[in-house]
Amino acid sequence: MNFDTELDASGLNCPLPILRTKKAMNEMSSGQVMKVMATDPGAVKDFEAFCKQTGSALLEQAQESDRFVFFIRKQ
């Protein structure tokens, strides 16, 4: 999937992956896509809730070995 920016939140525990994502998305334009990588298993539910709260679209989520990958389009 094509994306405009990437954030590696590997090794960070809740709520840091969400906080770093929110900060990075503030620098993005509406419609841009961010790829986020995280290792915290709680990130799956956290990013679903984050997207519902912010109106951003969770385009795809996957697990690659010990890492979770999310593609989020900013509203």
- 26-75: pLDDT as tens digits: 999 999 999 999 999 999 999 999 999 999 999 999 999 999 999 999 99
pLDDT number for residue 13: 94
51 is catalytic: no
Q: Active site residue: 14, 28, 37, 44, which one?
A: 14
pLDDT number for residue 67: 96
Predicted model pTM: 0.94
Judged by phi (left if over 0) then psi (alpha if -120 to 50, else beta), residue 67 lies in beta
The CATH class, in words, for 5-73 is alpha beta
Long-range CB contact pairs, 22-25, < 8 A, 24+: 22/50, 22/54, 25/54, 25/56, 25/72, 25/74
